Amino acid sequence: MTFEERKECIEKVLRKEKVKADIVPIPDFHDNDRWVDYLVGHVPEFGLALTGNELVTRLLRERGYDVEEQKYLEDRWKYKGANVRETIKAGRRFDDMVPGEVASFLKGRKIVERIRAMGECCEDDRRRERKN
């Protein structure tokens, strides 16, 4: 999915939950100082950062930002994007793995079909590799 598609999914859920948030793409520079500089320069001013990433917590606290560490769900593997995509590729039901707004968005935009087609394409490639 593109960033814009992912952003739209998140915004739909946040709207339903009446949460106001800015969603900004932040690339990974593989350079901690550049990453923090980019983050601070490209997002609106913030008083609190929420993250479940220990490195991000450390980097932002080192720069003086307040950070609230988020705890992961106990069964977060079930909700990981890769797991949802694998479930879709396999043709299994995925509706209970994502919020209803996301399931509707994926179906309505034919993203489910796109994910399944990618899975079929990959499977065709694997079959060809096994034959050679």
Over the stretch 87-131, which tens digit does the pLDDT of each residue have?
Answer: 999 999 999 999 999 999 999 999 999 999 987 665 554 555 556
Question: Rounded to an integer, what distance in angstroms lies between the CA atom of residue 2 and that of residue 100?
Answer: 20
Q: How many CB atoms lie within 10 A of CB 128?
A: 9
Angle, alpha carbons 127-2-79 (nearest 5°):
75
Domains and CATH numbers, the chain: 3-69 (3.40.50.620), 76-131 (no CATH)
Over the stretch 38-94, which tens digit does the pLDDT of each residue have?
Answer: 999 988 888 899 888 899 999 999 999 999 988 766 677 777 888 999 999 999 999
